[in-house]
A and B are shown apart, each in its own frame.
Chain A
Amino acid sequence: MNRDPHARETGDRRWISPLIAAGVALAIAPTFAMTDEIGRWTIALGIATNLPCAVLGCYLVLRRMSLLGDAISHAVLPGIALGFLIGVRFAGEGQARLGGPGVVVGAMAVGMLTAFLTHALSRLGKVPEDASMGVVFTSLFAIGVILITRAARDVDLDPGCVLYGLIEMEALDTVQVLGVEVPRSLGSLGLAGVLTAGFVGLLWKELKLVSFDPGLATAVGINAAVVHYALMAMVAGATVAAFEAVGSILVVAMLIVPAATAHLLTDRLGRMMLVASGVAVLSAGYGYLGAVRLNTSVAGMMSVVAGLLFAAAVVLGPRHGLLGKLLRTLGLSLRIVREDLLARLYRAEESNAAPVASGHGGPIAALAGWQLRRRGLIETGRDAPGLTAAGRHEAGRLVRAHRLWESYLSANFDLPADHLHEPAERVEHYLGPALVDDLSTELDRPTSDPHGRSIPPGEPGRS
């Protein structure tokens, strides 16, 4: 009987996370099965690329800093280009790579610098924050592109690859590890993943607090600024690690889209990271498969798949999805129309007027009528529907709520008599039995409403 005090009412149960993990594992398995060894390594590389970005991206999305992630991923380019040029100079053409330890450190510095410059520019120059971010990262990116273009002249490199990566090539560049041919980048990507996991794990509480309430964090003694810049540095690091595989623009996709998708599906941070990781993994696998099928860019397909998963979450998400909202709204409308119909018939009976066959109302009214008939609350009479005994009982409950509310308004507010019906018409649908009992008690169990009509009695045993 001891319910977890942190679990909320709707569906937050302990088995959900393992279920998600199992589901993702199950869903990704076919992709591994449907391709060859190179394909499997490429998918593994994709997963290794996307995971750290997705996890770190959760913080960015929650703090509404998605575009700062965008900015950083662009701004690291000059650092990478410089590292690349230096690499070419020292290590020779064949050895030149876009990633490397010095470059990573340099890129992390640039990442922090971007955040700092944006802030400084917007304060110093009184430029709006988004415009100053735009100026800083596009300038840095322009420098980077120029450097890369120069580098590309010395090396046979397509400058466009900085934008969309070379993951197709990465799987071929292998190293012998324990007798198995492993792609070289998996090392640096794996390291990035481990570092990210370590960072997030060790600073879990601090990051959480700084993300949701930096003021409280500072008051409690956590230096919010330090944590913030550390996060920016990690984002820059993950960006650089992912760069070789997916290029700069698509890192943005992996930073934002999985986290945003997860945000639509859950309200808890841990589970959000799990779902984001799931999206990252699935994008890697199915993105690769799709790219092979259509013979196109793997990185591009990965972000498209991520986008499709996001779209699915937007429409089908259980709590926040559009479809769910539509159905809930429809359900509510139907309930209201049903209750109004019953109440109208009741009032017609009361005043012995001939019940008006309601031809108007459209499809919802028709559906409501059909539902009432099915539940045995109304029956189709000779010209028009009439209440059954059960229907009369239901209607009476509603009219009781309506008239009690009118009495309540009349007793507590200085409203003219003809102003009581309208609000009661609206509120009556939301007065549950407990509230109706309270009203009746408070008003001293009245038997007639301000218009002189009798209030239907409540259940025996209730007031």
Chain B
Amino acid sequence: MLTYNTLIVLIGTGLLGANAGLVGSFAVLRRRALTGDALAHAALPGLCAAFLIAGRRSMPALLAGALVSGVLGVVIISGLRRATRVKEDAAIGIVLSVFYGLGIVLSRIVQDTEGVGNKAGLDSYILGKTAGIIAQDVLLIGGVSLVSLLAIVLLYKEFVITAFDPDFGRVQGWPVLRLDLVLMGLIALAVVFGLPMVGVVLMAALLILPGASARFWTDRLGPLLVIATAFGLTIGLAGTALSARYAGMPAGPVIVLVGSALFLLSVLFAPRRGVLGRAIREWRFRRDLEERRMLRLLYERTEPSLPTIVPFHPVDDLHARSDRERARTDRLLARLTSRGELRLEPGGGYLLTEAGLGRAAAATRGHRLWERFLHAYPEQATVEADLGRASVDDVLMPEIVAELEDHLRAAGRLPGDDAGGSRR
């Protein structure tokens, strides 16, 4: 089934993908995603120059050339940014396109010296071609991946600080600039080694997609890195396998599309941050809000006459503005009934049950506490108030809550479990 060659290729691309995913997550966090793109494009002239000097099959030489010119490109970008009025995005674009143009110029020259037949070798670096990976290369790739992993594990705390709060790191005395350089070096290695796989043009995707997809599944950095690495591995393996099936297809685009599919799935279906998950949560929240509102209405109806519960006639008591609204109300009341919070009387009215009364009282209490809070502390509204919460209890300090309750109690408006709001 799996030939030796196929296995080698799969291992190689899996490792490459995993490495790119791991390092790329930091690139995305540091807003350096497109610098990775520039690195990939800037690597081309070095690649071609090494081709001219060292010949086709010496992968270490080719990659060394790519690394040198790629890093030169990045150095020029930050030089431009610091010493001239050229802004970062323009600097990236300039280096990207000019170096790439130089690469194309050199590649044509290479073609002429080597003959048209060998053009395919260089083209594989532009659009990617995984079939040529041999065992030696895998060892090299494995070594580089291990180095990246070690660096990230050893320097984990430092990288976290430089990613999230470099100013704090600087103040604490950590060599932020040097750490940044180390990170850029790791990115450069990942890019240069990923080149044979996806090619120059699509390298950025391989850096960005695993980390961006993983972001939808977790909020914490540690799990994100693990997931991103796993995604990178998957993308590398699946993409390579697929592109091997369709022989004429360059590997790069197929791998990238596998990654994009994974990304799209994450965007849509990740439980908490995905579009679907959020839509469901919003829907549930709106329903809950609706119910609380209705219960509050029922409670206020019956509050003056507590502990006797007054029946509620939706047709008389609610002025529905449309058939649709009436239907919605009916559905809502049916829901509450089926949950045992309302009871339908023979006369057609609804009565709050004991459970219903408890929930209605809680809803009303929560609402009135929020009202009182916004009244008493308006300046804190934007900072403290989370009006999505049913009550202030989880949001405010107990002392403040007690103070608000006292105020309500004094006005006779604190819902208790019997008439007039006794102490809870």
Contact = CB atoms under 8 A, between A and B. Distances in A.
Contacts of A159: 127, 250
B201 interface: yes
B97 A263 contact: no
Contacts of A256: 90, 93-94, 97
Contact of B126 (A121, A160, A295): A160
A264 B86 contact: yes
Contacts of B28: 127-128, 131
A297 B108 contact: yes
Nearest to B33: A131
Interface stretch (B256-264, B329-337, B344-352, B401-409): B256-264
Interface in A148-199: 149, 153, 159-160, 163-164
A295 B112 CA distance: 9
B2 interface: no
Interface string B11-42: 00000000000000000100101100100010
A124 interface: yes
A59 to B, nearest CB: 12
B252 interface: yes
B102 A131 contact: no
Contacts of A310: 94, 98
Contacts of A264: 84-86
B101 A146 contact: no
A299 B101 contact: yes
A252 B102 contact: no
Interface in A54-86: 61, 64-67, 69-70, 74
Given A142-B260, A163-B126, A299-B101, A124 B267 contact: yes
A93 interface: no
A300 B102 contact: yes
B108 A296 contact: yes
Contacts of B257: 139, 142-143, 146
Interface residues of B, number: 57
Given A135-B209, A310-B98, A130 B85 contact: no
Contacts of A291: 105
21 contacts: A66-B90, A70-B96, A125-B212, A130-B33, A131-B212, A134-B37, A138-B202, A138-B204, A139-B256, A159-B250, A253-B100, A296-B105, A296-B112, A299-B101, A300-B102, A302-B101, A303-B97, A303-B101, A304-B105, A314-B84, A322-B83
Interface of B: 28, 31, 33-34, 37, 41, 80, 83-87, 89-90, 92-94, 96-98, 100-109, 112, 123, 126-127, 201-202, 204-205, 208-209, 211-212, 215-216, 248-250, 252-254, 256-257, 260, 263, 267, 273, 275
Given A126-B215, A138-B205, 19 more contacts: A61-B90, A125-B215, A125-B216, A131-B28, A134-B34, A135-B208, A142-B260, A252-B96, A252-B97, A260-B86, A260-B93, A260-B94, A263-B85, A296-B109, A297-B105, A300-B108, A301-B105, A306-B98, A314-B80
